[in-house]
């Protein structure tokens, strides 16, 4: 089990986590650090990333906090250089900075669309590209944070879904190009995760929470432990032969709406009746 991985699994490794001022990305940084990695974390908000670093340091982790906007390649590259100067070559890069909001396409401005593309898609490339020249090769692992919308269309998310679809293809292309150097490139696609700001908005009432869960094959929200365990797997040598993959950790969300009696499984004790017509 991923949760049973030994605590020194990443000892001696260096991990850079972008977008780690809170939420899923901060939780991933914490899990990687708890497994022994030294951490460089970055976010656009200097106060929030400093606060996040203090949290991690209070838990005994080695952390370098840097403020940078992932849309600015030079700023990201400067962070990478600081991390390498402090800890040495990078073994793990997690690109998770993102921006999003709900908007129907007819009411979405061109600037709003561009902003999300710039943060999510361009920012993702900037983080991975800036990290590439400073990786410990072979053996490095790059992980982008995607979303189910990268492969499944949805309402009011054309900007975010387009960006995540781009991330998924970026991961596959880079896996092909950088694989010969011993660099693995994968994406992690979280579904509805309890305790995150996004789910607090989407499931603001008990009724709404029940409705969302009813659509999931597993009928439950995931936890931060579920996501961080998947990230730890992709970051570690346990996935040494995995590259170019989008790992869905979404309770089956990408499969479609699993609510409704027609989709309920037939009990094993009940035979399935069939009719053969000539």
**151-173 pLDDT tens trace:** 999 999 999 999 999 999 999 99
92, containing H or E segment: strand 92-95
Residue 270 has pLDDT above 50, yes or no: no
Token pair in block for residue 210:
């029940």
112, containing H or E segment: helix 110-116
Say which CATH superfamily domain 9-251 falls into: NAD(P)-binding Rossmann-like Domain (3.40.50.720)
Domain ranges of the chain: 9-251
Token pair in block for residue 171:
């991961």
With cut-offs at 50, 70 and 90, classify the pLDDT of residue 201: confident
pLDDT score for 263: 47
Pairing verdict, β 38-43 and 63-67:
parallel
- Can you tell me the mean pLDDT for 220-249? 97
With cut-offs at 50, 70 and 90, classify the pLDDT of residue 1: very low
pLDDT score for 260: 77
**Higher-confidence position of 277 and 238:** 238
Token pair in block for residue 259:
């609510």
- Can you tell me the mean pLDDT for 53-78? 98
Residue 273 has pLDDT above 50, yes or no: no
Determine the 3-state secondary structure of 46 from DSSP.
helix
Cβ atoms of 100 and 143 within 8 Å: the answer is no
**Higher-confidence position of 198 and 51:** 51
24 to 67, 139, 194, 260: CA distances (angstroms): 18, 24, 10, 31
- Can you tell me the mean pLDDT for 264-276? 42
pLDDT score for 84: 98
With cut-offs at 50, 70 and 90, classify the pLDDT of residue 5: low
Residue 205 has pLDDT above 90, yes or no: no
Provide the whole-model pTM: 0.90
User: Which of the residues are catalytic?
Assistant: 146, 164
| Placement of tokens 């838990």 in the chain | 59
- Can you tell me the mean pLDDT for 6-13? 89
Residue 209 has pLDDT above 70, yes or no: yes
Tens of pLDDT, residues 93-134: 999 999 999 999 999 999 999 999 999 999 999 999 999 999
């Amino acid at each position: 089990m991923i949760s049973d991985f030994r605590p020194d699994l990443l000892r001696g490794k260096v991990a850079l986590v972008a977008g780690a001022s809170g939420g899923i990305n901060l939780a991933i940084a914490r899990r990687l650090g708890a497994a022994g990695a030294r951490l460089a974390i970055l976010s656009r908000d200097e106060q929030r990333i400093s606060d996040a670093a203090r949290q991690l340091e209070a838990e005994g982790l080695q952390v370098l906090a840097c403020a940078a906007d992932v849309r600015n390649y030079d700023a990201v590259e400067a962070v990478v250089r600081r991390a390498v100067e402090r800890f040495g070559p990078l073994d793990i890069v997690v690109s998770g900075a993102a921006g999003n909001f709900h908007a129907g396409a007819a009411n979405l401005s061109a600037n709003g669309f561009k902003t999300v593309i710039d943060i999510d898609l361009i920012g993702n490339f900037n983080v991975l590209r800036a990290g590439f020249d400073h990786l410990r090769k072979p053996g490095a692992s790059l992980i982008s944070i995607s979303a189910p919308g990268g492969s499944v269309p949805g309402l009011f998310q054309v900007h975010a879904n387009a960006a995540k679809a781009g991330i998924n293809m970026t991961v596959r292309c880079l896996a092909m190009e950088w694989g010969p150097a011993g660099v693995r490139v994968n994406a992690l696609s979280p579904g509805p995760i309890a305790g995150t700001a996004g789910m607090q908005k989407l499931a603001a009432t008990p009724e709404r929470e029940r409705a969302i869960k009813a659509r999931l094959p597993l009928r439950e929200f995931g936890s931060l432990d579920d996501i961080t365990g998947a990230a730890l797997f992709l970051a570690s040598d346990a996935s040494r032969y995995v590259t170019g993959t989008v790992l869905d950790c979404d309770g089956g969300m990408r499969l479609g709406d699993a609510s409704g009696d027609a989709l309920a499984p037939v009990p094993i004790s009940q035979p399935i009746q069939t009719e053969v017509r000539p």
